[in-house]
Chain A
Amino acid sequence: MDQLYNTRRLNQIFVALNLTALALILITIYKDQRPEWYPYQTTYIQLFRQYAQQELNRVQKELQGDAEYQQLKKQLQEVSAKLNANPRYKELSREVARLNEELKKVQTQLSEVRLDYLHYEDEYFWARSQSAKERYRRLMQQLKPTVDKLTAQMEDIQARLLKVTEEFNALDKERQELQKKLSEKEFALQVAQASVESAQKAKPKIQQIHNPELHLVDRCTTCHMGYDKPESWGEFLKERIAQLEKRKAPKASIDILKALMPHPRQQELFAKHPVSKFGCTSCHGGQGVALKKDVAHAYNEKFWETPMLPIKYVEAGCGKCHRYEMTLAGAPKLSRGKQLYYMLGCFGCHDAKGYEDVPEDLQKIGPSLTHIATKTSPEWLFRWLKNPHAWSPNTRMPMFYLRDDEAWALVAYLRHATEVVQGEAKPQLIDLEPHYGKQPLRLTKRYPGGDPTRGRQLVQQVGCLGCHRIDGVGGPQEREKGKRVLSNKDFGPNLSKVGSKITNPDWLFNWLLNPKAIDPKAKMPNLRLSDQEAADITAFLLTLREQPTARPVAFTPTPQLDNPELIDKGFRLIANYGCAGCHNIPGTEKLTKIGKNLSDEADLDPHLIDFGQRVHEIFEKAPTYWDRKYIWLREKILRPRSFREQGLRMPNLNISEEDADALLTAILSFTKREVATLKVTATDLPQTLYVRDRADDPRIAAISAGQKLVFGYNCVGCHIVEGYGGDIWPLLEDGMQPPNLQSEGYRVNHDWLFRFLHDPTMGSGRQHYIRPWLKVRMPTFGFDDGEVNTLIRYFAALDNRPIFQEFRTPYRPNPATAAVGKKLFDALQCMACHPTGPVQPGADVAQLAPNLQLTRERLQPEWIVDWLLDPQKFQPGTRMPTFFPYNEQTGKHDSPMPDILGGDARKQAEALRDYLLTLAPPTMAKRP
């Protein structure tokens, strides 16, 4: 028969193809056995064995060198030898062993017999026929004596054993105690040994963290095996890396070692965020299920929407859950970023989740422009609008790149919309909304003239410098690469050239006396200046003028500012650029925020971003796909208008690179992606609820709302709150600074605080109610009840106090203990630092402390005791002496007076407290 194909040929092709197929399969199987993560684990196992051995050696050496340990061991040896030499001891131990054995035998027998007995009993009850019942009853009867006998035997042995053991233990007690102490010492050794063993047995396998509540499957630890090892492991690895680098080993092997490094700040972070519950991707992002580095890190994975955050923005991962606090311990960059978002007024254009509780009065961070026309000249306003940073380098007002005609239009509108001095009515456009400043501005007092030197002194002392900068008076300017770093002293306008800005001295004088009389929406509080003081300060400020430059500032000539078209154009510009988001401008009350809501800005996908004309530049600069987003966001913050020639409205914030990074970190935490609500159970940690919404946790809500006020009114300019702020402290002498508000919620009575915040003078007429030696004044802010309550809740929440003190019977001091307290009071010489009267001139102010007569109304009784026992805990660095230092050995506080109240420090502190509470409060002229 004929064949079409040559069989030989076909056979050859067959063999070739099959060999190819076989080779492919073998290669695939081999590659599956040696996956990408394999070398990481083999390296880790190898190195960890060395490390464990090293640790073991170290612990052993430590124990060798530990004299106590050696002594204990010797003692144990001696005691054991002595005991062994004692015949009675040996006899007893033998007896104990024998009795135990006997007991075991009898117990076994007994249990067997018992089993049979119970079986018969059971059958007896279930038996149906009389004969069966009879049979089982007989069997039971037969067995019972044995049971009884054995039971008696067992009890007998047990009694004997008890006696013998007692005697034995009496002999053996010392040895047992020594043994226990020795084991405690050897604990570290045991751990090290166990570690060595486990290292020997370790085999490469996939590591996985699985938490179904979060739909979490993280396999990161397959490569990052050393994440939970102690710092010494990190040191060990660093040595190895240094060795490899010296040997110029290939980058890949060095990278493997770098991946095995332990996670930084484990104590801080893992305590509250156990890895077994949170995994890795909850904070860092990334594709947890993957086992290949590039797939897991997902830097270039277009379709994995939560790539790993670059390390410099890693704190954004914290912000996913910690959405509301602006001060997160352990995340300084994020905190700074969130504060910046607030302080720079980003939310004036861009709403974002986390800033919904900004109160009404603080929504607009810029000064109210109601009376701008009376305050400044149009020419100044023009210059300011064209380039604010030329006038005041650290102002928060951004630059809008306005054309000259646009700037004049704005000036025209602002002039038009505000009233002019002395009640001269102005013509109005028909469609202007009626605004609150309808009544003409009336300046009640005339400026009488003042002394600039005294004014300068006042400015330095009274507290202006907490919010305002004055060159030459108010501290150096922080700068980074020519751009200013925003600080709390930039809250208010820079006053270095204010004399050239404000043309009307009456205006300035009246403003200093009572800002809210001029503008109820002003943020500047009332410093309770006397007329003379205000006049002096005005005189001083008017001397602060602009340096006349060689070249005059050139600008287009002032056009006709009454022109309705120009005014209208100004209004449209305000609507276009969103000025009303930061400033109260009459007529613009109905305008809304012009910016995009940034609540999900972190979820932005690069392929939806409009890069404009910088698309090629950014694409080239970005090493990975997701870097495009980070670079674009950063560039948008630093150079907002650079993407298109026209059409973009975001102004230039003149922000430094570091601040921009912080802001970017904050923005990268604005995500709408849900991480499931996680409840960490009470068995392993104090209950920590993962908060998605402020409504879930009133504590967080209180802290968040309070921070808006504290930063929004610039309390942090003078006070240190949560460790932030206190910008005025370096400018004042020691002891003349406003108090650190740490633990304020625990320290003071809340109803006292309520009255104080409404009126810091407490109706006494004195500037300083608590600390008479201070020159800086707590201003009268004119809060409403809501704001004060917010602040009280804030402080209470910070100290984990109940949000409002519950009603309770006021603590009544015991007169007997109070008498003892008086003795202590005198002995400890409290009056040396806590004066009750006015401050003596020449007193060392740094040593002064608040008036103790205020104790009853102001301080919380429990706090007083805790404070006395450990002042440093509540105010680190305070000058209050620690009279009752804590003794580690006894676990109690020592007392300097061992004969009073038995030397019990706590009792003594309580006695002091009782005495203090009996002190009569200072006389008041008026009480609120």
Chain B
Amino acid sequence: MAEQVPEQEQRRPQPAARPAAQRPARRGMTEEQVQATQIAAERKREAMEEGKVLTWPDLVYAEFLSAVFLTIVLFIVSLVFNAPLEEPSNPNKTPIPSRAPWYFLGLQEMLVYFDPWIAGVLLPGMIIVGLMVIPYVDTKPTVGIGRYSWKGREWQYIFFIGGFALWLLLIAIGQFFRWGPWAIYMPWEPREHIKVVAEHLWWCPLHKDPPANMFCPYGFLLYALYNGLVFTYPFWLRFLHKDWGERAMNYYRQLGLVRYLIVMFFVSWTLFLPIKMAMRLGLFPLFWGVRLKYLVVTPWFNI
């Protein structure tokens, strides 16, 4: 079953495609994709033969030199900047602010907007699992390997870089814009003056105080509506824009139901994050000016 070969490759001797039985099964790829990969791999191997260089000295020497350079930089930094050592630990004296290490500041910042079990357990867990799942829900397993390619991987780039930037932004806010009882301080504001943080929060949509039976129907409905929209977007997007809708349906078909649900789960939570932050800050259009503590309220947990 010879494949269609682009014109320029006609010059080269065509390696024979191996019979189907001998081909290793590839998970997540269609038959065409597998064969395309095979051919491309062969081609690459040949091209690479000519383009290869010896590890010694090129790679090894370069690695060694960069290691020495890094060591020197680290040494100079260690000479100049001291690692912090504050006063001996005292369980009776809480420093204000008490900060997590900088790589967890993102999580601590999220604590402002979410309950601890979400910000501290659920979201980090989802970030990790979500990262691990990325290769398995990839619908373009042949596109862009081994090079930087914006074209063809737009959404992948957008989501990943966006998420990375959001993570860094949360760290930056937690490090430079927070002081005292975790209030917002601009970097130029004096830190000696401890601000009093008084948030006037509504418990949930249309309820200022916790509702009597700890159940808020409006919030629940909104949350259900949001998730419904996100999870079913291939089905209703075509009514807005025919082309996008079709691409969405294609995407859905490529993934299959299970993978689609997984992806949409993560997407829904990723998009929910800024939405909830906006609700908490009182910037959400539907509840303009009202700061919401929770959207979903149940007797057992709140979101």
Contacts and interface: CB of A to CB of B under 8 A. Distances in A.
Interface residues of A, number: 23
Contacts of A10: 57, 61-62, 65
Contact of A13 (B54, B57, B65): B65
A18 B87 CA distance: 38
Contact of B53 (A4, A20, A615): A4
Nearest to A306: B87
A24 B75 CA distance: 8
A619 B193 CA distance: 13
B71 interface: yes
Given A21-B71, A28-B79, A615-B193, 20 more contacts: A2-B53, A3-B53, A3-B54, A3-B58, A5-B57, A5-B58, A5-B61, A7-B57, A7-B61, A10-B57, A10-B62, A14-B65, A17-B69, A18-B68, A21-B68, A24-B72, A24-B75, A303-B85, A304-B87, A615-B192
B49 interface: no
Contacts of B72: 17, 20-21, 24
B53 A17 contact: no
Interface in B86-100: 86-87
A17 B72 CA distance: 8
15 contacts: A2-B53, A3-B53, A3-B58, A5-B62, A7-B57, A10-B57, A14-B64, A14-B68, A17-B72, A21-B68, A21-B72, A24-B76, A607-B192, A615-B192, A615-B193
A117 interface: no
A305 interface: yes
A3 B62 CA distance: 12
List the 3 closest pairs (A to B, CB-CB), nearest first. Answer: A303-B86, A4-B58, A303-B87
Nearest to B192: A615
A925 interface: no
Nearest to B86: A303
A85 interface: no
Contact of A3 (B57, B75, B87): B57
B190 interface: yes
| B54, B87, B192, B193: most-surrounded residue (chain A CB, <10 A) | B192
A1 interface: yes
Contacts of B68: 14, 17-18, 21
Nearest to B75: A24
B56 to A, nearest CB: 10
A711 interface: no
A746 interface: no
Contacts of B71: 21
A611 interface: yes
Contacts of B62: 5, 10
B85 A615 contact: no
Interface of A: 1-5, 7, 10, 13-14, 17-18, 20-21, 24, 28, 302-305, 607, 611, 615, 619
Nearest to A18: B68
A303 B82 CA distance: 14
A358 to B, nearest CB: 28
Nearest to A25: B75
Interface string B113-147: 00000000000000000000000000000000000
A640 B267 CA distance: 59
Question: Which of A2, A302, A615 has the most chain B CB atoms inside 10 A of its CB?
Answer: A2
Contacts of B86: 302-303
B185 to A, nearest CB: 14
A292 to B, nearest CB: 12
A472 to B, nearest CB: 51
A21 B68 CA distance: 8
Contacts of B192: 607, 611, 615, 619
A57 to B, nearest CB: 48
A103 to B, nearest CB: 66
**Max chain B Cβ within 10 angstroms of own Cβ: one of A3, A28, A302:** A3
A29 to B, nearest CB: 12
Contacts of B79: 24, 28
A2 B58 CA distance: 10
Contacts of B85: 303
Contacts of A21: 68, 71-72, 75
B192 to A, nearest CB: 6
Interface in B39-68: 53-54, 57-58, 61-62, 64-65, 68
A21 B73 CA distance: 10
B87 A305 contact: yes
A5 B60 CA distance: 11
Contacts of A17: 65, 68-69, 72
Nearest to B87: A303
Contacts of A18: 68
Contacts of B58: 3-5
A14 B64 CA distance: 9
A822 B53 CA distance: 125
Contacts of A5: 57-58, 61-62
Contacts of A24: 72, 75-76, 79
Nearest to B61: A10
B76 A615 contact: no
A4 B56 CA distance: 10
B87 A615 contact: no
A20 B71 CA distance: 11
A927 B287 CA distance: 92
A192 to B, nearest CB: 46
A796 to B, nearest CB: 41
A1 B87 CA distance: 61
A1 B57 contact: no
B65 to A, nearest CB: 6
Nearest to A2: B53
B183 to A, nearest CB: 16
A376 to B, nearest CB: 45
Contacts of B54: 1, 3
A157 to B, nearest CB: 70
A20 B79 CA distance: 14
A747 to B, nearest CB: 50
Contacts of B65: 10, 13-14, 17
Contacts of A28: 79
Contacts of B61: 5, 7, 10, 14
Contacts of A3: 53-54, 57-58
Contacts of B75: 21, 24
A127 B72 CA distance: 75
A478 to B, nearest CB: 39
A664 to B, nearest CB: 22
